[in-house]
Amino acid sequence: HITPEKFYVEACDDGADDVLAIDRVSTEVTLTVKKDVPPSAVTRPIYGILGTIRLVAGTYLIVITKKKKVGEIFSHVIWKATDFDILSYKKTMLHLTDIQLQDNKVFLSMLSHVLSVDGFYFSTTYDLTHTLQRLANTSPEFQEMSLLERADPRFVWNGHLLREFAAQPEIHRFATPVMHGFITMHSCSINGKCFDWLLVSRRSCFRAGVRYYVRGIDSEGHAANFVETEQIVHYKGSKASFVQTRGSIPFFWSQRPNLKYKPKPQISKSVNHMDGFQRHFDSQIISYGKQMIVNLVNQKGSEKPLEQTFAKMVNSMANGMVRYVAFDFHKECSRMRWDRLQILMDQLAEQQDEFSYFLVDSDGKIVTHQEEIFRSNCMDCLDRTNVIQSLLARRSLQAQLQRLGVLHVGQRIEEQADFEKIYKNAWADNANACAKQYAGTGALKTDYTRQVSLSCKGLLRTGKRTQWGLIMDGWNSLIRYYKNNFSDGFRQDAIDLFLGNYSVDEVEPASPLHVKKDWKFLALPIIMVVAFSMCIICLLMAG
């Protein structure tokens, strides 16, 4: 309910009388009741409060205005937020200069850009930020906490926007923790036995950003493009979970765009790499247990120094909880020899059997824990990584479904045509979501997971590498090149603003959006325009 003085957010649960009152002048947030809402207020439905943010014009309230049901996890409804609105506390912009108005408009467009990226999910009754194993190992006191209090801060993308709500426990239930990534749910049947199969990817908001602007780790040990992917099976009350992670090579390196198709990676020479490296794996071991690193980068060319440094640092750390395997994906699978991925699967099979998966029976008793985790990476932690993760997840799923009695002895998932199609499509969709969020385009190599052929309905996936897939990879690579060089700076700034890595100062005299550029910055565009114009004139007036 909107009035000139306040925003009133009314809880629409059955029997609820609580109303959140937000003062548009003092920005004070208090609880009141329905009878205090003025009849003159303009009323509209919303589906959650994303949070508040300060821009040049003052404070803004961001709300979820559209949602789409994804499915249910153990009777808890999961939603995807599909549209948002950014509401100004100020009733007028007359107090701003023309430059401030323009800056405010740019900051608003940054927020809108982040919110337009697909993949924001929430639930009002279920904690999406934790794996089944983490939730099973919590105390009764933890279960009583609000979703905002108990959420894993790594995966709450609106944590910065909700900081004022977090300071007032009595209004926590009005705050909606939102994760970014990918969720898909399917009701499946094999041998006449029905089970739910889910795939959840959670993107970390620490060291978040876009492809070439954010690589390696920060001083706290947070890795770029860190994603936790959990595969869940629910059958007759029993729940099984298999978790993997991906993240940039965890030391200090960069690969800034410079108009080359593939900029050369630069390993920093002025910092102590082991400090951040150690912090990264200490936090990973606390969160997941033992680490099995699967490094998929090239072992020659510009990627070779990264692989050598990674291997050397693991050896120097000498931590028995961290193991390392390097596999040159492009060399081993060159000329479409995808069968050679089995070499890596055979190499990892013993370790995977050793650290198992998480399983709870229908009585709520924990049968097995996942003791170790695969931490996969390539350069971007996208295309090569996704292929390997889907193969590891399928191998775990095979063991889970046999143990639960869904698959008979000797049966293979690959032989179950209907489920295999669902599985491959889901992993390819997961690859596309992660790639769009980090690189700005869909994933490459998804036709390995699902053969790509053109049909009137779009893309059909069946599981081989194809010539059409290579053409699509070329197209996506071209789009990535353009975005990485010419539009990712804006995308990076937008993410930093949204996550609170950059805060707008209303009284800051010099705006970071206005940088004076001398004639050298205009020389290349002018030369290009003149050259293009002369080319057109020559074509039209050849005589």
Cα separation of the two ends of the chain: 70
CB atoms within 10 A of CB 347: 12
The pLDDT averaged over each successive group of 10 residues in the chain (543 residues) is 96 88 96 94 96 96 98 96 97 90 95 97 97 95 94 97 96 96 97 97 97 95 98 97 98 91 92 96 97 97 97 96 97 91 96 94 96 96 95 97 95 95 96 91 63 32 63 79 86 96 80 73 85 92 78
- Contact present, 119 and 157 (Cβ < 8 Å): no
The predicted structure's pLDDT at residue 15: 80
- The DSSP 8-state label assigned to residue 513 in this structure reads T
Which structure tokens are listed for 527?
A: 């030369």
- pTM of the complete model: 0.90
- Contact present, 48 and 174 (Cβ < 8 Å): no
Distance of CA 349 to the CA centre of its chain: 28
Nearest to 405 by CA among 365, 363, 370, 361: 361
The predicted structure's pLDDT at residue 440: 80
Pair type for strands 366-368 and 253-254: unpaired
* C-alpha span between 32 and 328 (Å, rounded): 61
Per-residue pLDDT of 314-343, as tens digits, reads 999 999 999 999 999 999 999 889 899 999
Task: Provide the β-strand partners of residue 233.
Answer: 197, 240
The predicted structure's pLDDT at residue 373: 97
* 285 φ/ψ angles, rounded to the nearest 5 degrees: -65, -40
Nearest to 341 by CA among 331, 351, 352, 354: 331
Task: Provide the β-strand partners of residue 22.
Answer: 7, 29
Q: How many residues in total does the chain contain?
A: 543
* 25 φ/ψ angles, rounded to the nearest 5 degrees: -100, -55
- Continuous H helices in 119-222: 132-136, 140-144, 147-150, 163-166
* C-alpha span between 58 and 506 (Å, rounded): 7
- Contact present, 384 and 341 (Cβ < 8 Å): no
- Contact present, 273 and 252 (Cβ < 8 Å): yes
Nearest to 177 by CA among 138, 207, 145: 145
